[in-house]
Amino acid sequence: MTLFERARSLIPGGVSSPARAFGAVGGNPLFAERGEGAYIVSTDGHRFVDYIQGFGAVILGHAAPVVTKAIAGANARGGAVGLSTEAEVRLAELVCAHVPSIERVRFVTSGTEAAMTAARIARGATGRVLLVKFEGCYHGHADAFLAKAGSGVATHAVPMAAGVPEASVTDTVILAFNDSGALDELFARRGDEIAAVFVEPVAANMGVVVPEPGFLRRIVDLCRTHRAVSVFDEVVTGFRLGLGGAQGAMRITPDLTMLGKVLGGGLPIGAVGGRADLMDVLSPVGAVYQAGTYAAHPHAMAAGAAVLSALTPEDFDTLEGTATQLADGLTEAAKDAGIEATVVRSGTFLGVFFRGDAPRNFAQVQECDRDAFARFHASLRSSGVLLPPSPYEAWFPSLAHGPDEIAATIAAARSAFGETAR
Ligand code: PMP
């Protein structure tokens, strides 16, 4: 019996997260034996240049020695201790030093929890209930965020998945990403009902979609004017678009920030941070309840502190150089193959859309040729390059990806685009 067969009989679909299924690209899920820098070694003995990189959780590459050493150190001191630790204070100091909008931070164990906590802080602080999010942005799998637009423009949302009660999304409004006009209208009509506006400052869960000039600033300004809370979901972009995240790179200051992924050095983590007065609505200072047995888990705190201490501004220049080289090589390869494909890069990460230009919102993302992506994915996989198994996931080169890995990827992409064209 294969590992997948064993898994499938015990774990729904054989995977513990649907993002790991290979349904969108064909074939069975891969099982990782181990990660090594830029590479994943699968249980069937193949070695891939890996662009999943823990869905963006590991920026130094897999099993970076500074991280494995920090985890080993934490391991020797126990697991969950149920008390505060110095490591969590150290990580909080690093977060607050790098992200100036964050005066106080609370550590949780996933991006999903960060979104739940941010929503509760915003609702508790404003006394309002309405949440606004943008179509195609992902903020984890809490009910209120698993919503899609209803039939009318800017009416309340409808559940995006079975098991999400309609009641839990009636206070969520979905707008199109990059649509500042719709946001203006919504605030004009219902500004005094809005608790928070959530946005991925660079959307990384519908492929990579960049914000148009003025869009993020409009969100922050409208929230300020109407005393709503702006929430930048920097689970992907935090410590990925530089040490200050998207807000540092773009010089825009939201009220609250969600973090995750890179922050935990590959271990389970999430965080919410922001102005002290907002954050202090949280229990035990304020009346907004939030808690967790594994919150600020010592292993994750140690791994996160190790990564954040290791990263330098020069590292981000290096990583951006790597991502640029990759994006340029892919663009050229697609052009030479006569394929309609657009590479969208935001600083250090990227995505490829099988369409003629860069989408500005989810409706345009959905116009892409998904079958072409599936063929492209399969061809690259057979050449030893592993992309995330969905056209909606971003590619994350790491600091362990060097010129050899990039050259190998571009060479593989040349033949993959050729095969995709056929
Ligand atoms: N926000 C964003 C922007 C994400 O990309 C993700 C995860 N892909 C989440 C939130 C949810 O994080 P988690 O999977 O840790 O719950």
Residue 140 neighbours by CB under 8 Å, 6+ apart: 110, 111, 112, 113, 114, 115, 116, 235
Which pLDDT does position 422 carry in this prediction?
Answer: 67
Residue 152 pLDDT level (bands cut at 50, 70, 90): low
**CATH class in words for 65-310:** alpha beta
pLDDT digit string, tens, across residues 93-107: 999 999 999 999 999
pLDDT of residue 420: 83
Judge residue 349's burial from the number of C-beta atoms within 10 Å of its C-beta, 0-12 exposed, 13-18 middle, 19 or more buried: buried
**Contact 377 CB / ligand 1 (< 6 Å):** no
> Is the C-beta atom of 50 inside 6 A of ligand 1?
no
pLDDT above 90: residue 316: yes
Asked if residues 385 and 49 have their Cβ atoms less than 8 Å apart, the reply is: yes
Atom of ligand 1 at shortest range from CA of 17: 14
CA distances from 218 to 181, 222, 246 (A): 10, 6, 15
Q: What are phi and psi of 231, to 5 degrees?
A: -120, 115
Q: How confident is the model at residue 188 (pLDDT cuts 50, 70, 90)?
A: very high
261 an active-site residue?
yes
Give me the catalytic one of 39, 261, 294, 392.
261
For the chain, give the number of residues: 422
Mean pLDDT, the chain, rounded, equals 96
Round to whole Å and give the CA distance between 215 and 207: 18
257 lines ligand 1 (CB under 6 A): no
Domain ranges of the chain: 65-310
d(CA 333, CA 418): 9
Q: Whose CA is nearest to atom 3 of ligand 1?
A: 235
pTM: 0.98
Strand 130-134 relative to strand 194-199: parallel, antiparallel, unpaired?
Answer: parallel
Q: Does residue 153 have a pLDDT over 70? A: no
Direct distance between the N- and C-terminal alpha carbons of the chain, in angstroms, rounded to an integer: 35
- Comparing CA positions, the residue from 27, 386, 109 lying closest to residue 14 is 27
Contact 61, 398 (CB under 8 A): yes
Which listed residue (138, 171, 255, 392) is catalytic?
A: 138
Report how far residue 129's alpha carbon sits from residue 194's, in angstroms, rounded to the nearest whole number. 7
- The closest-lying atom of ligand 1 relative to the alpha carbon of residue 110 is 15
Residue 154's pLDDT is: 54
Ranking 18-27, 129-138, 192-201, 233-242 by mean pLDDT, the lowest is 18-27
Each as own residue / partner, the long-range contacts of residues 182-186 (CB below 8 Å, 24 or more positions apart, any chain) are 182/153, 182/154, 183/132, 183/218, 183/219, 183/222, 184/218, 184/222, 185/154, 186/132, 186/154
Q: What is the pLDDT of residue 155?
A: 64
The residue whose CA is least distant from atom 12 of ligand 1 is 111
d(CA 381, CA 73): 36
The verdict on the CB of residue 236 being under 6 Å from ligand 1 is yes
Tens of pLDDT along 267-282?
A: 999 999 999 999 999 9
Residue 301 CA to residue 71 CA, distance in Å, equals 9
Given this model, what pLDDT does residue 421 score?
A: 75
Cβ atoms within 10 A of the Cβ of 36, count? Answer: 14
Q: Is 200's C-beta closer than 6 angstroms to any atom of ligand 1?
A: yes
Q: Which residues pair with 344 in a beta bridge?
A: 351
Q: How far is the CA of 18 from the centre of ligand 1 (A)?
A: 13
What average pLDDT does this structure show over 292-304? Answer: 98
Question: pLDDT tens, 14-62?
Answer: 999 999 999 999 989 999 999 999 999 999 999 999 999 999 999 999 9
By CB atoms closer than 10 A (0-12, 13-18, 19+), residue 188 is: exposed
Q: Which residue is listed with tokens 């006009």?
A: 181
Per-residue pLDDT, 156: 76
Confidence of residue 402 (pLDDT cuts 50, 70, 90): very high
Nearest CA to ligand 1 atom 5: 236
Mean pLDDT value of segment 250-277: 98
Specify whether 138 is catalytic: yes
Q: Specify the pLDDT at position 149.
A: 85
